[in-house]
Amino acid sequence: MSTVVLLSVTGLGLGALYFLVASGLSLIFGLMDVLNFAHGALLSIGAYATWWAASHSFGYPLALLFGTAVGTLASVALELGLIRPLYRRPREQVLATVGVGLAVPALLSAIWGADARTFPVPASLGGTFTLLGATVPVDRLVLIGAALVVLLALKAFLGRTRHGLVVRAGVEDRAMVTALGIDVRRAFTLVFAIGGAAAALAGGLAGLYFGSVDPTQGSSLLIFGFVVVVMGGLGSVSGAAVACVVVGLVQQFANYYSTAGLGDLSVVVLLAALLLVRPSGLTGRLA
């Protein structure tokens, strides 16, 4: 029983990271048809910025805020500097994001080395607590809590604000949004800011979860982010929320009850099976 509890909480914690990556990916793809391969780089930027701040005695919450801010700025710069000029050339757009996705890890390892750097985990978050007889690390709760807050904030943004309305409409029909006199490119920058913030937050939290940061973390989390996005339905935040729970849990349980590594494989099998049954993902719609 205690193993099941631990696996569940850990799976949910991992799922929380996937959600933070996937929600932005999903919004960006839904609105702009851009598959953002630089999303993992944004996560890494957030992770390193958080690690840097935390190692300079910022205190974890402040360091996390700093990392998120840096990732947000990087994401906005990416949209304005690379994506927007290539607006009518989707192939080049994707290539540009791939380029950034490769360049950033290279840059990070050039500056701080390719090896993992120990993440200064604060004592208050390094402990454990007992849940239904299982000893569970506290950081899992931080991850789950952060993802829930982001989920609720995103839903409020999409459901209750004018900008959110423009994003939801743009996911359906971008041209018609402009035909109503709305500058949809502003929404592009906005979803990049939101997606970048969530990814960078995931980076800072990943440092806490893994206890270290390294240049490849972003890319490996990005893969599961893509899986979650496809499973949840492109452009759907709620779909991503459901899918990340499924992926996180399946991965944890499969890794534990079979040989390690099979968890990742089972996620892929799950994705293939789902796509065969429901090609548009779990929901196929936004919000």
Partner 1 sequence: MTSSLLSVRGLKVVVGGRHILHGVDLDVAPVGVTALLGRNGAGKTTTVRGILGLVPRTGSVIYDGLETNGLTTHRIVQRGIGYVPEDRGIFASLTVAENLRLAERDPDPAYDLVHELFPELRQRARQAAGTLSGGQQQMVAIGRTLLNRSNRLVIADEPTKGLAPRVVTEVAVALERAAQAVPILLVEQNLALVRRLADHCAVLADGRTAHAGPAAELLADADKSRTLLGVGRRADTAPAPVAPAAPATGGDH
By CB under 8 A, name the binding residues for partner 1. Answer: 162, 165-166, 168-169, 172-173, 175-184, 285-287
| Residue 192 Cβ vs partner 1, minimum distance, rounded to whole Å | 19
* Closer residue to partner 1, CB minimum distance, 21 or 166: 166
* Three-state secondary structure call for residue 7: helix
- Is the sign of the CA dihedral 276, 278, 280, 282 positive or negative? negative
Residue with tokens 């930027």: 45
Which amino acid, residue 200? A
| Residue 178 Cβ vs partner 1, minimum distance, rounded to whole Å | 4
* Closer residue to partner 1, CB minimum distance, 40 or 170: 170
- Is the sign of the CA dihedral 229, 223, 262, 244 positive or negative? negative
| Residue 287 Cβ vs partner 1, minimum distance, rounded to whole Å | 8
* Closer residue to partner 1, CB minimum distance, 11 or 170: 170
| Residue 162 Cβ vs partner 1, minimum distance, rounded to whole Å | 8
Token pair recorded at residue 261: 């590594």
* Closer residue to partner 1, CB minimum distance, 99 or 284: 284
Phi/psi class of residue 278: alpha, beta or left (left: φ > 0; alpha: ψ in -120 to 50)? beta
| Residue 171 Cβ vs partner 1, minimum distance, rounded to whole Å | 8
> How many CB atoms sit inside 10 A of residue 49's CB?
24
* Closer residue to partner 1, CB minimum distance, 83 or 247: 83
